[in-house]
Amino acid sequence: MRICVLIKQLPDTGSALKIRADELWVDEDNLVFSANESDSYALEEALLMKEAQGGEVVVVSLGPERVGQVLKDALAKGADRAIHLHDPAWEVLDSLGLARIMAAVLKEEQCDLIFTGLQSDDTGDGQLGPMLAELLDMPHVTLVVETELSDGRIKVKQELEGGWFQYVTAQLPVLLTIQSGINKPRYASLRGIMAMKHKEIKAVGAGDLDLPADQWVAGRTLQRLYVPEKTKETVFLEGSPQEVGAALVDHLVNTAKVF
Amino acid sequence: MGKIIVLGQMEGSQVSRISLEALSGARQLAAATGHTVLAALFGPGDPPEQLAGADIAEIIRLPNAELADYSPDHYVAAAEALIAAEQPELLVTGHSYQIRDWLPRLAARLGRPLISDCIGVRDAGAGRWVRPVFQGKISADVQTSPGLVLVSFQSGTYRADELGSGSPTVRTVPVDLSAVESRLQREEKFQEAKGAVDLSRAERIVAVGRGIGEEENLQLAHDLAKALGAEVGSSRPVVDYGWLDHDRQVGSSGQTVSPKLYLALGISGAIQHQVGMKNAGCIVAINKDANAPIFEIADYGIVGDLFDYVPALIKALHAR
């Protein structure tokens, strides 16, 4: 059994973000990068499945040099090999272009399962998983919070809105987008870190794929980033904690009347 | 002039609120572009009363039995056939979980761009849209190429009661889905056993987020809740870590609440959290990050370390 996990590297949650002078992205100097949160849960789910059932876990990421780090981290945690998609021609992609590149790579891998996080915490499109499943002609389930694999079938618990859930069953191959909280992602062990050094990270560029360049021309491009316009007039309370505490209680009692 | 098709998502025999909001958004797009608005409804059953007097040119029905229950394979095939028959300029809907599940798949089949989680329109004619990035900390204007564009509007972007007045005609579009095979078997939907707390009835809520740091620090939130006569709620990460039960989670995957007071401790306020609490009467946010999106909707803001301010606030409440 082969499980492919798609991982995106992005600025650490809680990073102080500064919009770049050209207003087309954030300034990446001085930022700390890590794996997208739900992608970490997706990787852990794949590793647990491999440990229980056997097989191979392949991690895939697209991006510049720095992306090598999330692939190394995944290999140290127990993934078997990695594919790093990197090409200057792929600097500006939309979800569909990215999905077509991933599809061209994963077609060769013949995966039984493909896992991704439910969405990336930077662009937040939440499109790659279902798009990739369509391009590879396999079924998909989004927002998965539980998996159970047996006899070439997988039964998953899908999160719906407002606290509702549904069990969904499919024959492999299938693509799942994994919700945060499904498991407890592990840390790499020292032995894992040593083993990582002998594992393969395959570099793949545009020239290695059977995919015409017009397939990744963006139909959707970022024009400008900016700090959102405020919808509410916020009263900011300043001063010592004692002053602020007293002032807030006064506002809550006399202005907002919340008691 | 072209067509804007609004996909009306059904909740039982009613069109969902987020779909009505999308319809109201489509009317504004139509006013700006001169396009006409059509509402499309999947599945058997008569069009609901909600749309009878709305300002829509037509209601299109796809009454196939295969569309009565959700199936991504069938919904994608039906929408593909509908688009082939009607040739719309825009396909508009609400950004629900179900739409997130299948609309990207449709976009890939059609090879067309999808603006998911859209929160505004910069220029309808030019195809320029607004959507949040970095969990709502930053907004982005996004340009789409000429041709069909799919758009899903975030909840609350438009008002559900601005449907205008008109008398739409009803038309059935015959679509053959007999060759579509469903590759998923879906069981009945269910809710987890209800816990002890019903946050939707709480008058005051103290909600904790990632900024609480450690499980032991939750005691501070419990102490503040006690001083306020409030329930404790949380954003998603705190439940993911297993520190609080799922029934205390506020947001799109948890509870929707509207208390008199919502006091957010160390919650950045990603859009998925905001949709569950933005209708609170009074929102107070304490957060270290002055740019946290929670401050966009807060009535009162304290920029600083919650571990400095919360103990002082508890003291002030006791002195009241």
Q: Where are the domains of chain A?
A: 2-216
User: Which fold, A2-216?
Assistant: Rossmann fold (3.40.50)
User: In 10 A of CB A108, how many CB atoms?
Assistant: 11
| pLDDT at residue B315, as a whole number | 96
What is the ipTM score, two decimals?
0.94
**Mean pLDDT to the nearest integer, A143-163:** 93
**Weakly modelled stretches of chain B, pLDDT under 70:** 193-196
Q: Round to whole Å and give the CA distance between A253 and B204.
A: 13
Selected residue of A18, A134, A155, A226 to mutate for chain B interface (largest B Cβ count, 10 A)? A134
Inform me whether the C-beta atom of residue B302 falls under 8 Å from chain A C-beta atoms: yes
Structure confidence by residue, pLDDT tens digits, A231-251? 788 999 999 999 999 999 999
Quick one: B3-172 is in which CATH superfamily? Answer: HUPs (3.40.50.620)
User: Which fold, B199-318?
Assistant: Rossmann fold (3.40.50)
Selected residue of A40, A225, A232, A252 to mutate for chain B interface (largest B Cβ count, 10 A)? A252
Q: Which part of chain B is CATH 3.40.50.620?
A: 3-172
Structure confidence by residue, pLDDT tens digits, A214-232? 999 889 999 999 998 777 8
Inform me whether the C-beta atom of residue B173 falls under 8 Å from chain A C-beta atoms: no
| pLDDT at residue A105, as a whole number | 97
**SS3 state of residue A151:** coil
| pLDDT at residue B193, as a whole number | 67
Interface contact flag, B190 A165, Cβ < 8 Å? yes
**Mean pLDDT to the nearest integer, A66-87:** 98
Interface contact flag, B107 A222, Cβ < 8 Å? no
**What pairs with residue A116 in β-bridges?**
A177
> How does residue A163 score in pLDDT terms, banded at 50, 70 and 90?
confident
| pLDDT at residue B194, as a whole number | 65
Q: Which part of chain B is CATH 3.40.50.1220?
A: 199-318
Q: Round to whole Å and give the CA distance between A58 and A55.
A: 10
Structure confidence by residue, pLDDT tens digits, B111-123? 999 999 999 999 9
**Mean pLDDT to the nearest integer, A149-172:** 93
Which of A87 and B46 is assigned the larger pLDDT? A87
Instruction: Kindly report each contact of residues B211-219 with a partner whose C-beta sits within 8 Å and lies 24 or more positions away, as own/partner.
Output: B211/B265, B211/B266, B211/B267, B211/B268, B211/B287, B211/B288, B211/B306, B212/B238, B212/B265, B212/B266, B212/B306, B213/B266, B215/B241, B215/B243, B217/B307, B218/B243, B218/B244
Find the angle CA(B76)-CA(B64)-CA(A155) to the nearest 5 degrees: 55
Interface contact flag, B313 A99, Cβ < 8 Å? no
Enumerate the residues of chain B whose CB falls inside 8 A of the CB of residue A245: 309, 312-317
Structure confidence by residue, pLDDT tens digits, A25-60? 999 999 999 999 999 999 999 999 999 999 999 999
